[in-house]
Amino acid sequence: MRHSIVLFALVAGVTSPMLEAEPVTFTEHVAPIIFNNCTDCHRPGQGAPFSLTNFEEVRKRGKFIVDVTADRYMPPWHAASGGPAFKDERRLTEAQIETLRQWVASEMPEGDPTKLPSLPNFPEGWRLGTPDMVIEMSEAFDIPADGPDIYRNFVVTLALPEDKWLKAIDFRPSAPAVVHHSLFFLDETGEARKRDAEDDTPGFRRMPQRLERSGHLGGWALGGNALMLPDGMADKLPRNADFVFSTHFHPSGKPEKEKSVAALYFSDEPPTRRHSKVQLPPLFGALAAIDIPAGEKRYSKTDYFDVPVDVHAFLIGAHAHYLGKEMTMKATLPGGELLQLLRVDEWDFAWQEQYAYKEFVLLPKGTRIDSEIVWDNSSENPRNPANPPKRTKWGLESTDEMGSITIALSAVDQADSEALEAAIGEHRRESALRTFLANADQSEEGRGWMQRARTMFDQDKNGQFDPEERKLIREFLKGMGL
C-alpha cells in the first residue's frame, strides 16, 4: 500500500501542471468522496462523534481526515481485500485518498458553489423497508456519563400467535453514541425473563451459557449493515420465544438512556433452503484452553473443518475481545488452490461486523477450511485493557478472551443438508476433544477435567484415548448437547 501511495505521489508530481490548471476543490472533488463514504455515519443522530455534511465541517478537520483515510482507519472496514468481494464494502480507492491529500495540501479551496452535489438521500425509515414487526425494550436503561463498559441483556416478550420465519433483523439504538454492539438471542426457556425479574434495573447482566450457545441470531454493530438472508432461507422464530438484546455500552462522557428498537422481517413461506454455521474454533474457543501469558505478542489458536458436500458460503464474521489482533479463515480447494475467506489484520473490538459475500462462494466437497485467531497481550497492543499486561484466559467478561470465526454455509444440493449438519456437529465435538486433549495440561481446570475424563473414558487404562474411547467421549459430548 505504501508503494502505491508513493507511486501516486509521483504520478501526481508528473501531472501537476495540469492539476494546477484545475485545482482540487471541495465542491467538485472532495464533497462527492465525503458525502458518499463518510456522511452516512458522520451526520446528526448517527454513531460518529461529529458531522461531515458541509464545507465548513470538513475543512475544520481536513488534516485529521487525511490522516485517518491514509492509514485506512476511516471509513471503518476491517476485512482485508484479497478474497471474494463483500457486499457494501466501505473502502476508499487510492485515488480518492490522494484527492483528499491534495486538497488539504493546497489549503482546502471551496471551489464553485454551484458544483456542490446535494447530500445523498439517506434512508429515513428502516433500511430494508417496512418491517413485519417492530419490537422495543420495555424500559429505558441508564448509562452513566463515565465508568467501565457495561454489558446488559434485555428481554422482549414477542407473544407471537404462531411460529414465524425470520429473514432479517435491523436494529436502532436510541443512544447511538454509547451503544457499541448488540447481539440477538432467542430464549424458549423463560430463563432470561426470570433473570430480568431478579432486580429493579432493566435487564440482567450475565447471559446464561445455555442461551449463549443456542439461540444466537446475529447482531448489530456500529456501522453494521442490515442483511437479508439469501432467497429461500429463513430462521425459525418459535411462537413461545422471547427476544433478547445483549448489548455492550461504552460511556460517552454524558449520561444517556437506551431504549433499543428492532425491526423484524418475516418470510411468508417456510424456507426452501437450509443453512448452517460452522464456528472455528467452536463455542468461541471455550474448549480451546485459551490462556495467554502476560506480554505474549502472538498467541494463536487454529482449527479446521473438512467440507463434506458441495456448499455455498454467504456470510462470515469474526469475534474476539480486546486482545484479538489478527483473524484469518482460508479455504484450500480440492485442487490445492487457496482462497482467502476472511482476513482481519487489525481487529477492533468496537466493530463486530458481519460480512456478506457479494456472490455465493462455492466450496466443493473436499475443501478444507482453516482458521487462525491471533491475540496480542503485549503492552504494544494499544487496546490491551491491562497495564501492565495480565495473563488472560477464556471467559465471558470483555477483559477475558475468546475468539473464533463463523461462516454460514448452505448445501448446493439441498438433499445434502443433513450430511452437512451432521458433519458440523461431529466437527464441533471432535475439535472440542482435540483441542482439549492438546491443551488440558495448560491450566488447573484443564488438568482437573483431564483426570475426570481418564476415569470415565480411558477404559483400558493405557493413559491415552484410543479411537474407540474417543468415540465414547464424542457420544458423551453429544448427550451433553454439544
Residue 312 near residue 410 (C-beta atoms within 8 A): yes
Of 31 and 361, nearer to ligand HEC (C-beta) is: 31
Is residue 251 part of the contact set for ligand HEC (CB under 6 A)? no
Nearest distance from C-beta of residue 110 to ligand HEC, angstroms: 17
Is residue 384 part of the contact set for ligand HEC (CB under 6 A)? no
Is residue 167 part of the contact set for ligand HEC (CB under 6 A)? no
Residue 37 near residue 90 (C-beta atoms within 8 A): yes
Nearest distance from C-beta of residue 261 to ligand HEC, angstroms: 19
Binding region for ligand HEC (CB under 6 A) out of 46-54, 198-206, 253-261, 437-445: 46-54
Nearest distance from C-beta of residue 281 to ligand HEC, angstroms: 28
Among 41, 288, 307, 363, binds ligand HEC (CB under 6 A): 41
Is residue 48 part of the contact set for ligand HEC (CB under 6 A)? yes
Residues 56-115 touching ligand HEC, rule: CB under 6 A, are 61, 64-65, 68-69, 74-76, 90, 92
Binding region for ligand HEC (CB under 6 A) out of 45-53, 122-130, 275-283, 415-423: 45-53
Of 43 and 470, nearer to ligand HEC (C-beta) is: 43
Is residue 42 part of the contact set for ligand HEC (CB under 6 A)? yes
Of 29 and 301, nearer to ligand HEC (C-beta) is: 29
Among 13, 49, 161, 479, binds ligand HEC (CB under 6 A): 49
479 contacts: CB under 8 Å, gap ≥ 6: none
Is residue 47 part of the contact set for ligand HEC (CB under 6 A)? yes
Binding track, positions 441-470, relative to ligand HEC; x by CB under 6 A: ------------------------------
Among 24, 31, 40, 311, binds ligand HEC (CB under 6 A): 40
Of 48 and 192, nearer to ligand HEC (C-beta) is: 48
Total chain residues near ligand HEC (CB under 6 A) = 20
Among 23, 84, 208, 223, binds ligand HEC (CB under 6 A): 223
Nearest distance from C-beta of residue 319 to ligand HEC, angstroms: 18
Binding site for ligand HEC (CB under 6 A): 37-38, 40-42, 47-49, 61, 64-65, 68-69, 74-76, 90, 92, 222-223
